[in-house]
A and B are shown apart, each in its own frame.
Chain A
């Protein structure tokens, strides 16, 4: 039993931390967020050169062959630095689907350019009515002899604004809520019939609502088995939930550290406000909330490493705890920073907003508590 990171993992951690410290100070980040694309292509190239984009992909696919812990290290550090470049949508979601569902040719075509930093991707799975139910899918792909015709709309597609290629979840058979009959398709973002409306989110992500109007896809666009997408998507989501939780843990630790530092220096009534017992006990509560979240992340990582399937209940629990403890931590961070805490200028609110988006991504705490109950207490 050990909860240590390997030397290699420590090196990756240090390299991301160094990047954040040297090249990602708050003003730089703000300028990137406010730029046309809301991300830095130059940074993305740096990520590729430093090998970060290759981490989860197998060596056969040209990747680093990292495991879930390697991925977690990257996400935690990105969380600490509040990095806006689309690592999660491109590498974890888009790359994750292609790596799992794609055949050799598709993987060769796509993953190499993801790893090299040439292709930005997005996974389009949310619909207006679907909330967190992945199986609730009205977008259709109809076989047309040579391939498929894609019709429908996906909303809040992370990285939808900048993605060159999309993976789209569409229905090839069955009714709106059926678990069978879902299929995955590779679609060029600029293909004929694809149109999008782009907008920024509160956490500075650039997303899009994307409409597919009789988009013609070749047979080679199908990823994996026709009608059998859901199990693969669920695998990707499990890994993505651990990735998000890792990012959240990075953010929570940062919020706590910044808040603690502030209460040691901010003086009122002639003393540092950190000398007040009412604040001290609340900061113990936020410290415990962080340590507990980290512990549950460790449990998820250890179980997932042994067998991803065995981690199911823990991953639901993790999302519940991240949601609950995240709300406590960002709420207290804002409160203890007083008036400054509610300004756009201070970074605290931005960390809080990213944590809020993480909480709602791929199902919020309430949703995952129901899933936890379903997987644990089923009669």
Chain B
């Protein structure tokens, strides 16, 4: 039972601080703001050059080989500076699937490209008729010589408008149970017959899309894992997704921003920060957050020791997203009337407030967190079945 940092850990922390303070400079920050996905790619390539873009990959594939403590230090220092985490679809999600189930050819081709952020990935799971009941998916892939022909549609596809590749669950067989006959396949977004239809979100932004497949021809060698075993592949991926989803470091940063903002807001002569009611709301969140941080650390430590994440890991997604939303809600309250401000180029001086629109955007986009990656209700079904053993 020990969290004291060793001399090596402290030296590592200095390295991390040094790197981030040098590389995440004003220019980089400006690029991230103004250049959207291109800015993000630029940042990920800087991380790649340092060898730090994939903390969770094995060393043989270009991972860092960091200990649990080092990962924790990295996360803390990153979020402290408000640096966004890497886009997960390639570096976290599909990479893990390829490493676990892919052919040598797939590994050799895709993994280095993912590592260098040469390809932007998106995830084709949900369909207009298949949300939480993912196994009911209908997008069809029919064998035709060395290819599959895909027909159907995927929906809620984040960043499909930027993507070079999409990893999809498709139905290759209709005869058995609905979990059977699903196949995991990689599709080039430039393929003929793919159409991306934007969906404007509740945050008034374009992050989500519908992706249509009309007779899209995909080489059969792009199947990952066995044909018909896509459900097993998807489940393994969900376990990976689950452990990385708590985002404690980012919630901690939100709490710091909340305190700063609440110290500047004044209500009837009293700082919001000194309002006992507001203090209690903050305390209730922070107490859970302090606990969640150690729940995450327990998971990291177990995994670093080569073990499977224990029952504590399964609550990371649920608690993490609940707390994310709780902090987003508090920011909205701090912004008061200004929480309603739509995206605007207006100067904050003229407008009268600084972060109302950001708070609104984060709050609105944040609604998705308890829905994606398996809604929190589905998470509870999974935990009750696989952790508690309830049928």
Chain A residues with CB under 8 Å of chain B are: 1-5, 69, 260, 263-264, 274-275, 277, 280-281, 283-284, 287-288, 291-296, 298-299, 301-303, 305-306, 314, 317, 320-321, 324, 369, 372-373, 376-377, 379
**Do the beta carbons of A377 and B1 come within 8 Å of each other?**
no
Cβ–Cβ < 8 Å partners of A3 in chain B? 1, 297-298, 301
Which residues in B have their C-beta under 8 angstroms from that of A4?
Answer: 1
Closest 10 A/B residue pairs (Cβ): A295-B294, A280-B384, A296-B291, A292-B291, A302-B3, A288-B315, A295-B295, A1-B69, A284-B380, A317-B287
Contact B298 A295, beta carbon cutoff 8 Å: yes
Binds A, one of B20-28, B51-59, B273-281: B273-281
- A373 partner, pick from B280, B292, B300, B383, beta carbons under 8 A: B280
In contact, A291 and B384 (Cβ under 8 angstroms): no
Q: Which residues of A contact B15 (CB under 8 A)?
A: none
Question: For A274, A281, A291, which residue has the most chain B Cβ atoms within 10 angstroms?
Answer: A291
Q: Are B2 and A305 in contact (CB under 8 A)?
A: yes
- Checking B4, B259, B301, B384 against A283 with a beta-carbon cut-off of 8 angstroms, the contacting residue is B384
Bound complex: CA A279 to CA B284 (Å): 25
B144 at the interface (CB under 8 A from A): no
Known: A260-B388, A281-B377. A5 touches B290 (CB 8 A): no
Residues on the B chain within 8 Å of A298, using CB? 1, 294, 298
Q: Determine the chain B residues whose CB is within 8 A of the CB of A301 once the complex forms.
A: 1
Q: Which residues of B contact A299 (CB under 8 A)?
A: 290-291, 293-294
Chain B contacts to A: CB under 8 angstroms? 1-4, 67-69, 72, 259, 271, 273-274, 276, 279-280, 282-284, 286-288, 290-295, 297-298, 300-301, 311-312, 315, 318-319, 377, 380-381, 383-384, 387-391
**Partner among B2, B297, B319, B387 whose Cβ is within 8 Å of the Cβ of A292:** B319
Q: List 7 A-B contacts (CB under 8 A).
A: A275-B391, A284-B384, A287-B383, A298-B298, A320-B283, A321-B291, A377-B273
Decide: B291 and A1 in contact? CB cutoff 8 A.
no
Question: Complex formed: what's the CA distance from A303 to B293 in Å?
Answer: 14
Report which residue of A1, A274, A291, A373 has the largest number of chain B beta carbons within 10 angstroms of its beta carbon.
A1
Q: Among A280, A292, A303, A320, point to the contact of B381 (Cβ < 8 A).
A: A280
Q: How far is the CA of A283 from the CA of B315 in the complex (A)?
A: 12
CB-nearest residue of chain B relative to A68? B1
| Cross-chain contact B293 with A379 (CB below 8 angstroms) | no
**Of the candidates A287, A295, A379, which one forms a contact with B292 in the assembled complex, judged by CB atoms under 8 Å apart?**
A295
Contacts of B384 in A (CB 8 A): 280-281, 283-284
Q: How many Å from the CB of B31 to the closest CB on chain A?
A: 34
**Knowing A283-B384, A283-B388, A288-B315 touch, does A2 contact B301 (C-beta < 8 A)?**
yes
Nearest-neighbor residue (CB-CB) of B296 within chain A: A295
Closest B residue to A277 by beta carbon equals B381
B235 CB, min distance to chain A CBs, angstroms: 18
Please pick, from B279, B284, B377, B387, the residue contacting A377 in the complex, using a CB distance under 8 A: B279
Residues of A within 8 A of B282 (CB): 377
Residues of chain A with a CB closer than 8 A to B279's CB: 373, 377
Give Cα distance in the complex from A306 to B315, angstroms.
28
Question: Which residues of the other chain, A, contact B293 by a CB distance below 8 angstroms?
Answer: 295, 299
Closest B residue by C-beta to A321: B287
